[in-house]
Amino acid sequence: MANATAVAQHSFVREKILLGMSWKEYLRSLLTPTNAVATFILIIGVPLLVYRFAAGLGATTNLSQSAPWGLWIGFDMMTGIVLAAGGFTIGSAVQLFGLKDYHGIERPAILTAFLGYVMAVIGLLADLGRPWNIIMALFNFGTASVLFEVAWCVMCYTTVLLLEFTVPLFEWLGWKRIHSVMKKALIALTVLSVIFSTMHQSALGSLFLLAPTKLHPLWYTPYIFVFFFVSAIIAGLNMVIFESALSHRIFQSRADHHVDVDKLTIGLGKAAAVVMFAYFFLKLQSLVDGHSWGYLATGYGAWWLVEVVGFVLLPSLVFAYGARNRKVKLIRAASVVGVLGVVLNRLNISVIAFNWNRVDRYVPSWMEIWVSITLVTIGVLAYRWIVNRMPILRGDPAFPAEH
């Protein structure tokens, strides 16, 4: 009996964790140049995270009383959350709108969203001066605060993403009974994910309603929350195109070859072209509504034009051309520009165009940059670990999908 249990445990570890290899073989398989780069990043980044909590914000960042947030909020939090919008975008397309063709890319989109939110929360904890106070949102309902809404929605949505992720997790573990329960709950979870995402993607923009004069007039508008939500949809579409192209190339042996990724990419390219075209005109309307066309002649105006024309209108036209003529490589290239455009927008609003008229501008320190790179690296490593073991890019033969 003890021997049987030991053999069973050894079999689970070997088959599930070590991919059928022994410990020695598995460790040897980790010796790759990519892992060497990741190790170098982590060796410096993880002690930096510890140092931040040991020595405080002042010792590790260039934040100050006049620049209370910086790269960790702008990049890790805001950009991380908006790039994770693929989860609710593709989830609603498949579960709510009935576009079953996109089922093959729904699970990687949800996994990317889940890891994106976890990394965003870690970045947020690193930025908070008193991170232990974050649990007070559970007890003190500061309902007049925009951040209260953001805290609750991010907390609830991360939980929803975790529950959605349990479907492939339980397939990997072979827990059939609870797996069927979670699978039946997927539609309800998708409805919740759309509700929570709509609220907090826009609420992140509502933060800047509190400080209208700190944000440059070219980026500030009373409707900034609408722009945050529409750009989240743009980020979701672009990120899914980009991520599915990468995954199906890097993890070819793990991918389901029945999924026609090229056809799905063309469909997503059409959607991205239309949404970005509409968003471009929304941007023009906000420019006119704010009477801020005079700023177009300044340096910030040129930067605004780079963001709006170069990273919204141009990829929209490229998406249109690529979708019409079925050029998948062109659509993927445009999705890279689209993702960078959303990142640029969030960094502009939270860091670059924020406090735009002060003389002591905030510039992130090297430790802030390295911690950000570390968090992205941890997310990528976690994604790779999960895809190599769980049925993310392909279905599990023991759990056939019903048609």
Partner 1 sequence: MAYDLLSVYPAKLLEYGLGIAYLLMFIPFWRYVQGGKPAAAEVRAPAPVPAAHPVAARPAVAGWFQVPAGVHLHPGHTWARLESDGLVAVGVDDFAHKLVGPARVELPSVGAKVAQGEPALELGDGEKSVPMLSPIDGTVVAVNAAARERPDGVEDPYGAGWLFKVKAPRLAANLRQLFADSAANRFLEDASERLAMRMSPELGRVLQDGGVPIHGIGRALAGDDWDEMARTFFLT
Is residue 281 a contact residue for partner 1 (CB under 8 A)? yes
Calculate ∠ Cα 381-108-123, nearest 5°: 50
Is residue 285 a contact residue for partner 1 (CB under 8 A)? yes
Q: Which residue has the tokens 């020695």?
A: 24
Is residue 326 a contact residue for partner 1 (CB under 8 A)? yes
Short-list 142, 152, 265, 268, CA closest to 200: 152
Is residue 401 a contact residue for partner 1 (CB under 8 A)? yes
Is residue 284 a contact residue for partner 1 (CB under 8 A)? yes
Query: Which of 269, 364 has the CB closer to partner 1?
Result: 269
Count of residues in the chain: 403
Conformation bin of residue 98: beta by default, left when phi > 0, alpha when psi is -120 to 50: left
Is residue 395 a contact residue for partner 1 (CB under 8 A)? yes
Instruction: Specify the stretch interacting with partner 1 by CB under 8 A; choose among 82-90, 100-108, 160-168, 274-282.
Output: 274-282
Instruction: Specify the stretch interacting with partner 1 by CB under 8 A; choose among 50-58, 117-125, 203-211, 323-331.
Output: 323-331
Q: Given candidates 20, 34, 53, 289, which one binds partner 1 under the rule CB under 8 A?
A: 289
Q: Which residue has the tokens 């992130």?
A: 364
Q: Which residue has the tokens 């279905």?
A: 395
Query: Which of 82, 241 has the CB closer to partner 1?
Result: 241
Is residue 133 a contact residue for partner 1 (CB under 8 A)? no
Q: Given candidates 92, 292, 348, 374, which one binds partner 1 under the rule CB under 8 A?
A: 292
CB of 240 to partner 1, least distance (A): 18
Q: In the stretch 7-26, what mask flags binding to partner 1 with x, by CB under 8 A? A: --------------------
Instruction: Specify the stretch interacting with partner 1 by CB under 8 A; choose among 29-37, 114-122, 267-275, 348-356.
Output: 267-275
Short-list 150, 71, 68, 69, CA closest to 117: 150
Is residue 298 a contact residue for partner 1 (CB under 8 A)? no
Q: Given candidates 5, 65, 253, 325, which one binds partner 1 under the rule CB under 8 A?
A: 325
CB of 217 to partner 1, least distance (A): 8
DSSP 22-83: -HHHHHHHT--HHHHHHHHHHHHHHHHHHHHHHH-HHHH----SS----HIIIIIIIIHHHH
Instruction: Specify the stretch interacting with partner 1 by CB under 8 A; choose among 16-24, 72-80, 239-247, 277-285.
Output: 277-285
Distance CA 88, CA 185 (A): 15
The HSE-up count of residue 250 (CA atoms within 13 Å, CB side) is 13
CB 208, CB 196: distance < 8 Å: no
Short-list 310, 315, 342, 319, CA closest to 269: 319
Instruction: Specify the stretch interacting with partner 1 by CB under 8 A; choose among 12-20, 129-137, 337-345, 393-401.
Output: 393-401
Say what angle helices 328-347 and 224-250 make with each other, to 10 degrees: 140
Residues that bind partner 1 (CB under 8 A): 258, 270, 273-274, 277-278, 281, 284-285, 288-289, 291-292, 294-295, 319-320, 323-326, 395, 397-398, 400-401
